[in-house]
Amino acid sequence: MNFLARREYARAELEHRLARKGVESGVIADCLDTLAEQGLQSDARFAESFVRARVLRGQGVRRIKSELSQRGVASEVQRRAIAEVEAQENVDWFALAADTLARRFSTPGDSPKERARRERFLASRGFEFDQIRHALACL
């Protein structure tokens, strides 16, 4: 409960944290099942909150999915969370890529080396190739 009082956690994250504290795996499973039944822990709710926060940070779908996978969230839950946030927040990944690039750089780059630097920046943020091209064209 102390963990969940601060922020949402994925089930796998809680399992890992509790195991590090020396709690037995059977006790962990029972506890997390009870929390899920009571609606206190939900991977879907965690994923939606996580996606929303990452969109506000200017990150793309590829990076968001990767980070959710690292936290043990199932791919179907990831897909639903991204779709839900896209619908609620009217997320335009192309515009988000352009905004993210504009916050960091003022020009698309004069040389191929500078353009490649901007492309790497957006790729590291998880944007798709088409979104990167669009963002460079918008600067």
- Take residue 51 and report the two structure tokens written for it: 């996606």
Where along the chain do its domains lie?
A: 2-89, 93-138
User: In the predicted model, is pLDDT for residue 139 greater than 90?
Assistant: no
The string of pLDDT tens digits covering residues 76-109 is 999 999 999 999 999 999 999 999 999 999 998 8
Q: Report the predicted TM-score, pTM, of the whole model to 2 decimal places.
A: 0.91
Residue 115: which pLDDT band, with cuts at 50, 70 and 90?
A: very high
User: What pLDDT does residue 1 have?
Assistant: 79
Residue 2: which pLDDT band, with cuts at 50, 70 and 90?
A: confident
User: What pLDDT does residue 27 have?
Assistant: 95
pLDDT above 90 coverage of the chain, percent: 94
Dist CA 119 CA 75 (whole Å): 27
Dist CA 42 CA 40 (whole Å): 7
The string of pLDDT tens digits covering residues 9-47 is 999 999 999 999 999 999 999 999 999 999 999 999 999
User: What pLDDT does residue 45 have?
Assistant: 96
User: What pLDDT does residue 5 have?
Assistant: 87
Dist CA 59 CA 63 (whole Å): 7
- Take residue 90 and report the two structure tokens written for it: 């009217």
Give the residue carrying structure tokens 């990944």: 93
Determine if residue 58 is left, alpha or beta; phi over 0 gives left, psi from -120 to 50 gives alpha, anything else beta: left
- Take residue 64 and report the two structure tokens written for it: 């968001």
The CATH number that domain 93-138 falls under is: 1.10.10
Dist CA 23 CA 16 (whole Å): 10
Contact in structure between 59 and 125 (CB atoms under 8 Å): yes
The string of pLDDT tens digits covering residues 53-64 is 999 999 999 999
